[in-house]
Amino acid sequence: MVEEYYIKSWVEVAEKIAKGYNTVILPVGTTEAHGPHLPLSTDTLLPLEIAKRLSDKVRALIAPPIHYGVTQTLSCYPGSIPVTKNSFTNYLYDIFVGFAKSGFLNIIVINGHGGNTDCIKEAAEKAYASSRIRVLCIDWWISCDEIVKKYYGVNSGHGAAEETAAVLAVDEKLVNRKLYDSRQEILKRNGVWMYPSVGSVIKREEKDVPDFDIQKAKEFFNEACVYIESIVYEFLEKAQINPL
C-alpha cells in the first residue's frame, strides 16, 4: 500500500516547489532491537509519525524515510542491521545535496536514533558548504526529555518508558506487552561501556520501565510533537530573514 503522505511524482514535487514549498522533512532511523516488546522499526516509525503531524503545519514535503542507520551495541540481536559510520555519512551527504539540486532550501531531519547523530551533523556541514542547503536535525527523544520527565519521571532511555509510550500513541497494536521481560533491562552507568549490550532495554535510571497506559501515552506524544513543531517554526522563521 502506498502511503498517502508521500508526494507521488516528480511533477507534483516541481509544482509544490513552485508554490513555495522549499522545505523537506526527512525521517531517519535504524533497524534494531527495542526490548522484546517493540518493533525493530521503532526508531523510524516515530520520526515518520512526527513528520506526518508536522508537514502541513510548516508547508513541508515528507521524503521517504531512511530505515537503516548506525546500529552498534545492539547489532547482536536478530534483525538488527548495522551500517558503518562512513557509509552512512556519505549516504546522507548525497541525499542532502540531492535535495538542494531539486530546489529545496531547508531540510528538517527528524532523527530517531542516537547512533546517527554525529553522521547527520557531519553530512549537514559538508552539504551546506557545497550546496548551501540548511539542515535542522532534531533528535526527538533528547529534545523532549523534559516532557518525558513530566509524564514518566525519568530521563529518556531505550525501549523503556518514552519509546514504549510513543509507539503506543502511534499504534497500540505494535506493542506486544506480553513479550516484555524485565530480564532484558540493563542500566546505563556513567563510565561503563559494553559491546555488545547484554540487554535490549537500556535505562538511565532504575525506575525507567514501560508504562502501558494508552491515554497517557497519547497525551505525552501529542505534547512532544507540539514542542518539536515549535522548534521547526522558529528555525524556518529565522531562516527567512537570514542569508544562506
Per residue in 106-155, pLDDT (tens digit) is 999 999 999 999 999 999 999 999 999 999 999 999 999 999 999 999 99
Q: In sequence order, which residues have a C-beta less than 8 Å from that of residue 26 and are 6 or more positions away? A: 63, 65, 66, 95, 99, 107, 108, 109, 110
What does the pLDDT read at residue 2?
43
User: What are the domain boundaries of the chain?
Assistant: 10-241
Confidence (pTM): 0.95
Residue 68 near residue 101 (C-beta atoms within 8 A): no
What does the pLDDT read at residue 243?
86
Does the pLDDT of residue 85 top 80, yes or no?
A: yes
Pairwise CA distance, residues 223 & 123, whole Å: 30
Q: What is the CATH number of domain 10-241?
A: 3.40.50.10310
Per residue in 52-63, pLDDT (tens digit) is 999 989 999 999
Amino acid, res. 116: N
- What are φ and ψ of residue 76, in 5° steps? -80, -15
Q: What is the mean pLDDT of residues 32-37?
A: 98
Dihedral sign, CA of 78, 33, 218, 65? negative
